[in-house]
Each structure stands twice: as C-alpha cells, then as structure tokens.
Amino acid sequence: MALLDAYSKPLTAEQVGHLLRRTTFGSTASQIKSLTGQTVAQVVTTLLADQPTPTPPLALETGKAFHDLPFDSVNTGKLKVYIKNWWANLMLNQPISLLEKMTLFWSNHFVTNDSTVNDYRFTYRYNSLLRQHALGNFKAFTIAITQDPSMLRFLNGNQNVVGTANENYARELQELFTIGRNGGYTEDDVKAAAKVLTGWADTGYRDVNNAAIGSTFRANRHDTTDKKFSAAYQNTVIKGRTGNNAGLDELNELIDMILRQVETPRYICRKLYRWFVNSEIPAEVEANFIQPLAELFRKNNFELKPVLSALFQSQHFFDEALRGAIIKSPVDLVVGTLRFWGVLAPDSPQSLPAFYQVGNYMYARVREQQQDLLNPPTVFGWTAFYQTGFYQQWINSTTLGLRGSFGDALTTNALKLNGKPVIDVLAYVKTLSDPTDPAKLVNDLTGQLLAVSLTQAQKDFLTDTVLLNSIPRYEWTGEWNDYVKSPNDAAKKQAVQIKLTAFLQYIFRMAEYQIY
C-alpha cells in the first residue's frame, strides 16, 4: 500500500482511541463510543473544524481581563501563572478538536519563553497568535510570528538595525522555523536575511502607563541596500526599499524565497510527523510519506489543514505497529488522565477560584515533570522533540517518580479538586460490560486506559495478582454483587474499593500507561 493512501474502513474503538490520543489531550470513554463506526474522514472533519476564540484569562482578584491593561509590575508573577492555568484548562475542556494540540506544537516550533520575554501581556498575545494560525496558512503564520512582540524580544529582533544587524532571528528563522539545517543556506544568507529584517521593534513593553502593546516598523532603522543570497537560494536578490512598507514588503519576499525551496515543506512535515506519529523516519517513510505530504503542502499554498487531514486519514497513521511509539509528554499524561475521568474546569466568571484550582494543579504537575507551559528551555523547544532519543527525554530519575506520585494522588483520593475526588472508581466500573467477572473487568479497563494491547499472561497477572491479590476469581463475583446489593454498607464497599484502587495505582505506574 502507499503510505499516504486514505484509510477508508469504519473506525474501531481502538482506532478512535488512537486517533484521539494523538490529536487531542486524551479521550473519554463516551467520546470513543460516540465516534466508533464513523469513517476517519468524518472524525478528522470534526477535529479540523474552526473553534471560537476563547475568553481571555481573568484575574482572580478582580474577575476582569488583564491582557489589555497597563503592565502590573506588582502582580506580574501571579498574572503570568493565570495565563498558564487558563491554557491548561483550555486543554482540559477542549472539544473533539485539534486546536489545542496544534497550539502546543507551535509553541514548541516558533519558540519563545516567558522567562525571557518577561511581559505577561506579550505572552498572552503570543499564545493567541499561535491558536489563531495553528490550522491556517504557514506563510501568513511565519510573517505574523516574525512581527510578534514576544518573538522580537526573545530573539533580539528589536535590536536588529541598519549598521549593526543582529543575526539571531534570521538564523533561527532558517535553521529552526522554516527550512532546517539541511537547507544548504550559508552564513552569508543569514547575514542577508538579517538585513532584510532590520527595523522591527516591539512596543509597550512593561509599560505601566499604557495598555497598548504590539510591534512597529521603523523605516529609519532599516537597511535599504539590496540583499543578495547564495546559490542555495538560486542567487536571489531582494531589492532594498525605503518607506513605511519596506519592512513588510521585504519580509514577504524573504519568506516566499524560503518557501520556494523543496526542503522547506519537507522540514515542516517531518516535524509534524515526529509530533503526531513517530520520532523515527526511515527511508521508506521519508520517500513515500514525508515527500508526498510535503508536495501536497506546496500544492495547497502552504495551507495546513490539507496536510493534517491527509496525515490523520492515512493508512500509515493507523499502522498498529505505531501504537505506543510515543512516550506521553507531561501535558498528555496529566491532562489526558484527568480528561479520561471526566474532570472539567468550571469556566464561568463566578467560578474563578474553582477554575484556577484545577488549572493550577495541572500546571504545577506538568511543570515539575519538566514541561513548563509557554517556557520551553531553549529556542529548540522541549528536548523530547529534538534531542537524541526524542520522547525518552521525558523519563528520568526525577520525572519517573513524579509521574508515579501523580497517579498515586488520584487513586488514593489524596487529591481533591474543588472538594471532590478526581476518580470515582466504583461508578466507573459499573459502566463496564460485566463488573462481576474480574477477567472481563480487567480486559475492559485496560482496553480503555492503555494504548497498546496486553498479552493474555499480562491480563491474567493483573487479574489474579494485582486486582484479586491471589484470592479465587469467584470471590470477586460475590464481593461485587454484595456491594451492588448494599452500596451503603461500608465494609462491603471497602472490600471492592480497596482492590480497585490498588489495581488503578498499579496501572498508572505501568510502562504501558506512559505511552500512546
């Protein structure tokens, strides 16, 4: 089969689960049930549908938006965290949509970080720009991010002026954001691109008197000479210009020149592949998946939706050998686990304390597991998406224990969000096909919680040793039936709840739970 050929059969529950795990931050059992039997084309149409612009974050103290007010130097740390909590809650409450996963992808691609930018209003604007263009046109996106005040701050574009060109952004624009290291460009191309980009500056930075922030082009600080590029760019010359439109006109020509190169769409498609499919790109995948996908990208004038649609509908995407190929990022682990158990953040202005309690819990967990939202450690993004070993970087001596303690807190009910335990394991088990049969219970539960199938030996071990602690299986049947008949009997309830809690605790620590 051709790897990019569309998968046309109705989706099984396992395939729906695979698709939603990769494209969203986890699914619920009801979502999987509702989509099972649909075609992948139907589900992908839903995933790619436009979403409304979310309400901006509100300050807990005032109940009002703060992104469009003068800079608050006293509460800056608190307001910065509100933005991160707000985004975590958007991930948690997301509908069946690709938007939040793609917003995180672009945060790891067009990287800035809030510790360098250091103005929470710039950070909010940056996040809004990511979600605005997340599923749009890559050229328009690249032009917009070049002018973004956070990017101008982060990669010193605001210091790039005629006579003393700062090459920082010009280098990363090519190396990391568009064509990649295999693009063949030279140091002189970096210098020429830096000259094209002279004159841009952010406005309103940390201004305690003015609410307006943004960027501007200063024509008197722009290099008006012709910019000559190497043979890697077909010896293109971008003509120097003067006047207020010079910066944008030359920027458009620069991006057009980069997009004309065959390596540019390939580079972006490889990054999408590594984010959504697998870190390994063997020669067959490069030739029969990446290259035709890149050609599709080019033919559609760098619109992202056709590329993403083809990727997720492909037969290759549903290759069972690729299930479990990705280690969950902290965001996938934390947000996905809470979503599975039906946790939602209340989003009304009257419920701000409860809203931020949920968001702050998630943000604290992903940060301690080394994925600080809006604050990747370097311009390359998070190490798990570019470093040798890729996703294995999420697991180390610190994070492995933190992943386990996260699951422990959920299963033991030590964690309560807004006064309620996160997991009601008894209510959940009642929804399974036959809770009286411990083997079927284990089969159903692992089928919903894990992305990969277990062997029968593993299921037997989970049933007899982990769940039942070596008691005969028929005793579970009696205990469960006794509980159902007398749900308010503390002893009978405890007899099943202790076993199920220990079972879930074990599942959350399994290697199979860390992958998807």
Query: Is pLDDT at 350 greater than 90 in this prediction?
Result: no
Structure tokens at 15: 């395939």
Residue 131 placed within a domain: no
Question: What's 487's DSSP letter?
Answer: T
Determine the average pLDDT of the residues in 293-316: 98
Residue 286 placed within a domain: no
Residue 340 placed within a domain: no
- Specify burial of residue 247 (Cβ count, 10 A radius: 0-12, 13-18, 19+): buried
What length is written for the chain?
A: 516
The identity of residue 341, as a single letter, is W
Question: Could you read off the pLDDT of 407-463 as tens digits, one per residue?
Answer: 999 998 778 888 888 999 999 999 999 999 999 999 999 999 999 999 999 999 999
Residue 444 placed within a domain: yes
Q: What's the confidence (pLDDT) of residue 29? A: 86
Question: Could you read off the pLDDT of 370-407 as tens digits, one per residue?
Answer: 999 999 999 999 999 999 999 999 999 999 999 999 99
Query: Is pLDDT at 235 greater than 60 in this prediction?
Result: yes
Q: Are 217 and 244 in contact (CB under 8 A)?
A: yes
Report the SS3 class of residue 58. Answer: strand
Residue 477 placed within a domain: yes
Determine the average pLDDT of the residues in 270-281: 98
In degrees and rounded to multiples of 5, residue 507 shows phi and psi of -60, -45
Report the SS3 class of residue 202. Answer: strand
Domain boundary among 222, 256, 290: 256
Range with the poorest average pLDDT among 16-20, 44-48, 418-422: 418-422
Distances in Å between the alpha carbon of 305 and those of 133, 308, 370? 11, 5, 30
Q: Is 418 left (phi over 0), alpha (psi -120 to 50) or beta?
A: left
Determine the average pLDDT of the residues in 248-265: 98
Q: What's the confidence (pLDDT) of residue 261? A: 98
More confident residue, 167 or 349: 167
| pTM of the complete model beyond 0.95 | yes
Determine the average pLDDT of the residues in 350-364: 95
Residue 472 placed within a domain: yes
**Number of folded domains in the chain?**
2
- As a whole number of angstroms, the longest Cα–Cα distance in the chain is 85
Nearest to 18 by CA among 341, 270, 277, 335: 277
Query: Is pLDDT at 311 greater than 60 in this prediction?
Result: yes
Q: What's the confidence (pLDDT) of residue 413? A: 77
Determine the average pLDDT of the residues in 177-203: 97
Q: Helical H runs in 291-450?
A: 291-299, 304-313, 330-340, 352-368, 399-411, 425-429, 438-449
Range with the poorest average pLDDT among 86-90, 150-154, 183-187, 418-422: 418-422
Question: Could you read off the pLDDT of 99-149 as tens digits, one per residue?
Answer: 999 999 999 999 999 999 999 999 999 999 999 999 999 999 999 999 999
Residue 23 CA to residue 104 CA, distance in Å, equals 11
Structure tokens at 122: 């710039």
Query: Is pLDDT at 503 greater than 80 in this prediction?
Result: yes
Residue 87 CA to residue 116 CA, distance in Å, equals 19
Q: What's the confidence (pLDDT) of residue 321? A: 95
Q: Are 384 and 392 in contact (CB under 8 A)?
A: yes
Residue 445 placed within a domain: yes
Give the angle subtended at the CA of 351 by the CAs of 346 and 353, to the nearest 5°. 105
Residue 67 placed within a domain: no
Determine the average pLDDT of the residues in 347-371: 94
Range of the domain at 503: 425-514
Q: Are 149 and 125 in contact (CB under 8 A)?
A: yes
Q: Which residues contact 424 (CB under 8 A, 6 or more apart)?
A: none
Determine the average pLDDT of the residues in 6-26: 97
Q: Which residues contact 59 (CB under 8 A, 6 or more apart)?
A: 65, 66, 75, 79, 82
Query: Is pLDDT at 1 greater than 70 in this prediction?
Result: no
Nearest to 289 by CA among 311, 267, 309: 311
Residue 269 CA to residue 274 CA, distance in Å, equals 9
Domain boundary among 236, 256, 276: 256
Buried b (16+ CB within 10 A) or exposed e, 51-85: beebeebbbeeeeeebbeebbeeeeeeebbbbbbb
Q: What's the confidence (pLDDT) of residue 28? A: 87
Residue 258 CA to residue 270 CA, distance in Å, equals 17
Domain boundary among 256, 275, 299: 256
The percentage of residues in the chain with a pLDDT greater than 90, rounded to a whole number, is: 96
- CA dihedral defined by 111, 308, 326, 274, rounded to 10 degrees? -50
Q: What's the confidence (pLDDT) of residue 180? A: 97
Return the number of other C-beta atoms located less than 10 Å from residue 149's C-beta: 28
The residue written with tokens 């990391």 in the block is 176
Query: Is pLDDT at 78 greater than 70 in this prediction?
Result: yes
Which is it for strands 416-417 and 200-203: parallel, antiparallel or unpaired?
Answer: unpaired
Structure tokens at 60: 């807990």
Residue 125 CA to residue 213 CA, distance in Å, equals 9
In degrees and rounded to multiples of 5, residue 421 shows phi and psi of -60, 150
